[in-house]
Chain A
Amino acid sequence: GDSVTQMEGPVTLSEEAFLTINCTYTATGYPSLFWYVQYPGEGLQLLLKATKADDKGSNKGFEATYRKETTSFHLEKGSVQVSDSAVYFCALRDQTGANNLFFGTGTRLTVIP
């Protein structure tokens, strides 16, 4: 079945450091891919998405490119801020016709001043 494998955490970075969180997927066909973010004490929010191969999703300085050759959707940011501290989830949309998501295990990011 469909699944998402996400880089283990936690990740601790200094402010202005470069961030990469790895995500690979297994699925038949080419599912839509997403990154969701969960700030402390809150629910998940959509950060960015890509719906087809070679698409680049971007938002708030974060980027991820849908790579079908490597079945990957790595999240990157050039310069992290303390306010980026959160848990990041990679996800794919199932292809059954409903709007369901398969999530990775989540990666906790802590940015220190």
Chain B
Amino acid sequence: NAGVTQTPKFQVLKTGQSMTLQCAQDMNHEYMSWYRQDPGMGLRLIHYSVGAGITDQGEVPNGYNVSRSTTEDFPLRLLSAAPSQTSVYFCASSKQITGTTYNEQFFGPGTRLTVL
């Protein structure tokens, strides 16, 4: 199993450009999510999905779009990049929760994005 994979590892954009960060998992997990990691702020949830065709907003969704057409893939789209979106982006996946049971989230290696 490759686990959670993310591409690209690094990316530099100019203000106003658009791009898609890719995330894929081969563990047949229902739940997938995107976080951004900024110095002094920990990780903050951008968007998440509890299954194919279902997405929802997290804590900081503005400026980002997601879709979930398959169980395996959960791309994150930046429509018009801004310097405030300079960050490290992590994708995570887990089995869907049942009742109160927490299922461990598995994280990808991250994408470091710089917006000039």
Q: Would you give the shortest CB distance from A33 to chain B, in whole angstroms?
A: 10
B96 interface residue per 8 A CB criterion = yes
- Measured in the bound complex, the distance between the Cα atoms of B108 and A97 in whole Å is 23
CB <8 Å contact, A41 and B109: yes
Separation of A97 and B101 alpha carbons in the complex (Å) = 10
The answer to whether B94 and A99 touch across the interface, beta carbons within 8 angstroms, is: yes
Q: Interface of B with A (CB < 8 Å)? A: 4, 31, 33, 35, 40-45, 48, 50, 56, 58, 90, 92, 94, 96-97, 100, 102-105, 107-110
* Residues of chain A whose beta carbon lies under 8 Å from any beta carbon of chain B: 4, 6, 32, 41-46, 49, 51, 89, 93, 97-106
Q: Knowing that A51-B100, A89-B42 are A-B contacts, what are 6 other residue pairs whose CB atoms are under 8 Å apart, sorted by A's residue number? A: A43-B90, A44-B43, A44-B90, A46-B105, A51-B102, A99-B105
A-B pairs, top 8 by smallest CB distance, nearest first, are A43-B107, A103-B42, A103-B43, A44-B107, A105-B42, A99-B31, A46-B104, A32-B102
